[in-house]
Chains A and B, each alone.
Chain A
Amino acid sequence: MKQKKRMTLLGKQSAAGWAFLTPATILIAIMAFWPMIQAFIMSLQTGSSANMQWNDPIFNNYTRMFADKVFMTSVGNTFLYLIIQVPIMLILAILLAQLLNNQHLRFKGFFRTCVFLPCATSLVSYALIFKSLFATDGLVNAVLVHLGILQENYNFLGNSASAKAVIILALIWRWTGYNMVFYLAGLQNIEYSVYEAAKIDGANGWKTFWRITVPLLKPTIIMTFIMSINGTLQLFDESVNLTNGGPANSTITMSHYIYNNSFGAGGVSNFGYATAMCFFVFVLVAVLAFINMKVGDTRD
């Protein structure tokens, strides 16, 4: 009797839980999963988007992308950005967070605000700024020539290697502060006494960093890692606004190429092919996120 009553009570609570998460779940189902299913159907089709035909063979769009040199270039570029930019950015962010977490540091709020400022700047201005800074007659060239590092003005955005470097710099500039806030918040949750104890045990700064800070920050690191991977694999704005994919498609990203195939320059929209490439990106992100969670998740 008593047992039964308790069951219904738990049942009631569980039902309340379902009720709470229903609106969000329904919205995601309708606004993300349902369109995704439609997109998948589209990825098996070809032709103009007003009159799409089934592909023959049905996975033609999928096999096609692996023979597409520009798409393969864009995959390579995106991974290059991912491999270089994400680690540098996250390490810099942790470092900054660690420095700003120092009890004795003054003007903390000021520094924190400065470092966060870039990600509050609007995209258009940020692209314009980087373009003009790195222009052939821009400030960076002026400074480097003046210091004697460069012999003559260099066309940073006109050469493929340096254009990639500028994109990576721009990404680091824009997103380091954002990630730092997560780490800083994580660090503030670590009791200061833990550090004091470590100091008494004779651990130096480096050791405490690896033995205490990193393990305690692990959930935050995993979260920022997944977010950054996701963000970089879907990188679009920087490629479009800074270099327009150039010179000669050498900086184009996957999302930029997909956009070009659906709405962009060229005038020929091929939604079937574009959505097929989208699924490729989706699978990549999902796989990487999964590996990340498996590798990082030792807690449970």
Chain B
Amino acid sequence: MTEKKNRSMIQRRLIPTYIFLIIVAFFSVFPFYWMISAATNTTFDVANGKITFGGELLTNFQNLLANYDLWRAMGNSFLYAVVQTLLAIVICSLAGFGFELYHDKWKDRLFSVLLLAMMIPQVATMIPLFKMLSSMKLLNSVWGFILPSLSTPFLIMLFRQNSRNFPVDTMEAARIDGLNEFQIFYRMYMPMMKATYAAAGVITFMNAWNSYLWPKVIMTMPEAQTMPMLIANMSGGYTTDYGMLMVGVLFCSVPTMVVFFILQKQFAEGITGAVK
């Protein structure tokens, strides 16, 4: 009885919090709602600011399929983003593991130097990178897309930071049990750092999926086109069909959202470095 009363009192005191959160949630979700409603309207309605649902979704979708190779772009984006994510988290976690758990003066210094790379503006390195990759004949290939962002200081930092919570004693124990250093990484570190892998994976996937500037430079053939490039093509002409465009945008947004929804719990844990 009293406990119940107590609980309802707490809830009552939380009312302002709820109101505030509902307002914030509304503003956060509204543009998303607008995107979906725009996908169901004609281009005129969208341009004139109609925000209710219409009945044009199927027509817009059919227009999109008739004019653009949606599935190819989706397939490409998936391929690039998945390959980049998997390779990047393996390479960067190896580095984070090495930097933190085997750290000495020189490794720490090297790490500070690597951090500098985080501050290099992308436009600065674009031309030299293009030169390099085109001489390696990697234009229009998965490797051309992923190589520049396989190893990022941010991911290394994330793994390095989170490795602080990795129990060093068990490492010693494992060594006595006869595990070599790589086996420690593969059998102990990887399973225990699952949450960090999830967080790193979500971030990398989202960056890879949404990247636009670099693919535009390196992917010159339509066969290699990505989703963001396809969407840019749709809004580049003298006239834009907004209904069709928003269907494209919807397809472009869904994968990153799905990834986040599935992994959001691990994402939150991984960011802080929970170790299981």
Contacts and interface: CB of A to CB of B under 8 A. Distances in A.
Contacts of A132: 34, 46-47, 49
Interface residues of B, number: 89
Given A23-B94, A125-B35, A96 B24 contact: yes
A36 B121 CA distance: 9
B231 interface: yes
Contacts of A160: none
Contact residues of B: prevailing secondary structure: helix
A129 B35 contact: yes
Given A122-B210, A123-B212, A185 B268 contact: yes
Interface in A103-156: 104-106, 109-126, 128-130, 132-133, 135, 137-139, 142
Contact of B123 (A30, A230, A259): A259
Nearest to B13: A104
A121 to B, nearest CB: 6
Given A129-B34, A188-B268, A24 B17 contact: no
A125 B30 CA distance: 12
Interface in A25-47: 25, 27-28, 30-36, 38-39, 42
Nearest to B149: A31
A120 B272 contact: no
Contacts of A122: 210, 228, 231, 249, 252-253, 256
A17 B107 contact: yes
Given A122-B253, A230-B118, A262 B98 contact: no
Given A116-B260, A122-B252, A124-B252, A24 B124 contact: no
B95 interface: yes
Given A17-B102, A31-B151, A35-B132, A124 B127 contact: no
B147 A278 contact: no
A125 B253 contact: yes
B269 interface: yes
A278 B32 contact: no
A99 B107 contact: no
B272 A185 contact: yes
Contacts of B246: 125, 128
Contacts of B7: 104
B232 A23 contact: no
A282 B91 contact: no
A234 interface: yes
A165 interface: no
Given A17-B102, A282-B121, A117 B257 contact: yes
Interface in A174-204: 177, 181-182, 184-186, 188-189
Contacts of B97: 20
Contact of B49 (A13, A49, A135, A271): A135
Contact of B31 (A20, A129, A227): A129
Given A104-B10, A121-B253, A289-B119, A24 B31 contact: no
A105 B17 contact: yes
A17 B101 contact: yes
B128 A20 contact: no
A278 B123 CA distance: 7
A182 B274 CA distance: 13
B148 to A, nearest CB: 5
Contacts of B253: 120-122, 125
A16 interface: yes
Contacts of B228: 122-124
A122 B156 CA distance: 25
A114 B232 CA distance: 26
Contacts of A80: none
Interface stretch (B60-68, B78-86, B109-117): B109-117
Given A24-B91, A189-B272, A19 B123 contact: no
Interface string B110-152: 1000101111111111111101100000000000000111111
A114 B119 contact: no
B1 interface: no
Interface in B1-60: 7, 10-11, 14, 17, 20-21, 24-25, 27-29, 31-32, 34-35, 46-49, 51
B147 to A, nearest CB: 6
B28 A115 contact: yes
A1 B206 CA distance: 54
A48 interface: no
B104 interface: yes
B196 to A, nearest CB: 11
B21 to A, nearest CB: 5
List 6 tightest A-B contacts by C-beta distance, closest first: A17-B102, A20-B98, A24-B95, A278-B124, A27-B151, A35-B128
Given A102-B14, A102-B17, 12 more contacts: A23-B151, A27-B151, A31-B148, A32-B120, A115-B24, A117-B32, A118-B32, A123-B210, A128-B242, A135-B49, A227-B154, A275-B124
Interface of A: 13-14, 16-21, 23-25, 27-28, 30-36, 38-39, 42, 49, 96, 99-100, 102, 104-106, 109-126, 128-130, 132-133, 135, 137-139, 142, 173, 177, 181-182, 184-186, 188-189, 220, 227, 230, 234, 236, 255, 258-259, 262, 271, 274-275, 278-279, 281-282, 285-286, 289
